[in-house]
A = this chain, B = another copy of it.
Amino acid sequence: MEKNNIFTISEKTGYSATTVSRVLSGKAHKYRISQAAIDRITQEADRCNYRPNLVAQSLRTQKSQTIGLLVPGIENPFFATLSAIVIEVLGARGYHTLLADSGESEQEEREALRMFQSRSVDGIICIPVSSSPALHEEIGRKIPLVLLDRYFRETKLSYVCTDNYAGAYMATEYLLQKGYRRILAIQGVPASMPNQERARGFLSAVEKAGASGSVVGDAFSVDNGFRETQKAFSASQPPYDAIFAFSSTILLGTIQALRQLQLRPLRDVGVISFDNNGFLDFLDPAVTRVEQPLREAGSQAVETLFAIMDARRRSLPEPAPRQLLIPPTLVVRDSC
């Protein structure tokens, strides 16, 4: 395992480490290095298969070509897809991704953010867990940071999120238009912003139409969907004619419960869901749903991050935070 750095190349070629560095980092022209030197050095570099030590490079330049991505649970297909997109888009720009998973724990989130800092990542994309923006804002002052998918109500931080209000409103309107009048919405974590917005959208659509609707539940889980559905539909005369599941996990619980109760989606009760999940097409009937434009969101987040990074690099005045709400789309299938 002989070493292999700019000094070894320097010795072999007779040029100084400085010149070697300049050639190999592509600054040859800027420093007017002769063609002869360039040729000799690059030739030797290939020969010994030289790769710059990125750690040393980072230390010196204070840039790591790395972005920290913090997600609350990569096993969730929603976050997995989003991560894949972010990683891909970053890769296309020559950046690597340090991925941390907070597992929905505020504690873990704090640690991950600190770790990103210690590691001097060049930027952070974060799907936050905590309810207070304090830490994020503190970190955001030092390192460019963009929130993704979730945001804080009052914050100067940039974010890119789904317009959950609009999505829920749209879904509810669709149900109403189809003739459903008594709608049960099963929500996820009540404290989370996306959930609140969905609830708000749902309720305002219901109210506007003068229909009746209630919001129940407390987690983005299959279990929660199951329990709430069972509770609501075990009466012989259920007070609802449709269900709006605020996530695909909730939906699955709902489906399971309905099946147990011998009720069929569409025929006995209208069903609509939130979330992208190709799998919903394979249920019978396929489930009508509100889909978030993940690719759009992921690349906008990266875009926004790079804008901030760029401004800081040139020490321009920080641009106004870019706070994007991307409208989701209604994917119509056969469940209502």
Residue ranges of A at the interface with B (Cβ–Cβ < 8 Å) = 1, 51-56, 58-59, 64, 66, 73-77, 80-81, 83-85, 87-88, 91, 96-101, 103, 108, 114-115, 117-120, 142, 252, 255-256, 259, 279, 282-284
Interfacial chain B residues near A118, Cβ < 8 Å: 51-54
Please state the number of chain copies in the assembly. 2
A94 to chain B, nearest CB (A): 10
Please determine whether B59 and A84 come into contact, CB atoms closer than 8 angstroms.
no
Assess the B75–A64 pair: CB atoms within 8 A: no
Most interface-central of A77, A252, A256 (chain B CB within 10 A): A77
Give complex CA distance A117, B88 in Å: 20
Please report the C-alpha to C-alpha distance between residue A80 and residue B77 in the assembled complex, in whole angstroms: 7
Known contacts being A55-B55, A55-B120, A75-B84, is A97 close to B99, with CB within 8 Å? yes
| A64: chain B residues within 8 A (beta carbon) | 55
- Contact status B114-A87, CB under 8 Å: no
Q: Among B59, B74, B252, which residue has its beta carbon within 8 angstroms of that of A74?
A: B74
- Docked Cα-Cα span, A80 to B76, in Å, equals 8
Interfacial chain B residues near A108, Cβ < 8 Å: 91
A119 to B51, CA, bound (A): 10
Give A79 Cβ to nearest chain B Cβ, in Å.
8
Whether B80 lies near A103 (C-beta < 8 A) is no
A13 nearest CB across to chain B (Å): 21
What is the distance, in angstroms, from A129's C-beta to the closest C-beta of chain B? 15
CA A77 to CA B248, docked complex, whole Å? 15
Q: Please provide the 5 A-B residue pairs with the shortest distance between their CB atoms, ordered closest to farther.
A: A80-B80, A75-B84, A99-B99, A54-B118, A74-B84
Is B101 touching A87 in the complex (CB atoms < 8 A)? yes
Give which listed residue, B52, B54, B85, B279, contacts A279 with CB less than 8 A. B279
Establish whether residues A96 and B88, one from each chain, have CB atoms under 8 Å apart when the complex forms.
no
A66's nearest neighbour on chain B, judged by CB, is B98
Residues of chain B within 8 A of A117, CB atoms compared:
51
Interface centre among A53, A108, A114 (most CB of B within 10 A): A53
